[in-house]
Amino acid sequence: VLSNHFIYDVIKILLTSDDHDLVMNKLVELKTNFKTYGKECFVLERMLNKDPEKYTTPEGSPQVLLALKINEHIRKNNLKMPLFKKNDIISYIMGHDGAFLPTENLEINYEYYLEQQFLTPFFRLVGVLKSFNVDAVRRLFNIQKRVVSSLRITTPCCSNPQSQTNFCGTCGAEIDKNFLRNQAIKNLREEIELLYERKAVCPSCDNEQGLFLNCFNCNSSIPRKTRNKEFDDFLNSYRNTFPGFEIDKITRMSEYRTVNLLLYFKDEIERCLKK
């Protein structure tokens, strides 16, 4: 609930004002007050789409791991209370050692909530705004920007892995331009395949399908991880490895992934601009 209110406030600011400092003020307020909110603000609720014991990969679902832990405790101590089963809703809070019940007095993993519930959807939201300074947000929350390492090739003459591409670092022989061209195309093709990977596994029932919002089998939400940033970083690394391949032109082509909000919120935006 807390994260939904935060994102709603950010959207409202972006739709009604060009002053991005207002968004930064909201982020400063979040950081300042984050640990003062009550425990009830951090309660998450998830439905078990099958009995906890029937999940083949429960590691990625904290609610399933918690249900398994509670069921084991009930059985081990012969307690007269119901076990968690299919269609039960489990309420939990994320701690440093996994999920725990709201009735337990354990420490909240605030970093988890900041990253997963607040900053991840926030960066996704402002990612379509070229003028928004995300580096200022990273500095505010002390987020380290991912360092992109240069691509490496294996020279055809000495099988020497290296990032410099004009000459072999072992024997000094000039590397054939056609070899470099084929290597560049191969690397780019592999990265594009990752960018448009369409397989996703439902964390609730292990059903494998394409990248859709909901599972066809149990209708649970499927988290979707986009690789746009990774792909752009990959293109940037080409400048060091393949400096003569006009990578700047290729990089500019990736701007097709930006979203025109007018296509979806035209009426709302125009209404706000008229005020």
Q: Which of 98-107, 141-150, 172-181 has the lowest mean pLDDT?
A: 141-150
Q: Which fold has domain 2-140?
A: Topoisomerase I; Chain A, domain 4 (1.10.132)
Q: What is the pLDDT of residues 3-20, one digit of tens each?
A: 889 999 999 998 898 888
CA distance 251 to 234: 10
Whether the predicted pLDDT of 146 surpasses 50? no
Residues of the chain with CATH 1.10.132.60: 2-140
Q: What is the pLDDT of residues 191-229, one digit of tens each?
A: 777 666 656 666 666 666 665 667 777 777 666 666 666
CA distance 20 to 140: 14
Q: Which phi and psi angles does 125 have, rounded to 5°?
A: -70, -50
261 versus 95: the higher-pLDDT residue is 95
- Look up the pTM and report it: 0.54
**Cβ count near 204 (within 10 Å):** 23
Query: Contact, 182 vs 175, CB < 8 A?
Result: no
CA distance 199 to 266: 33
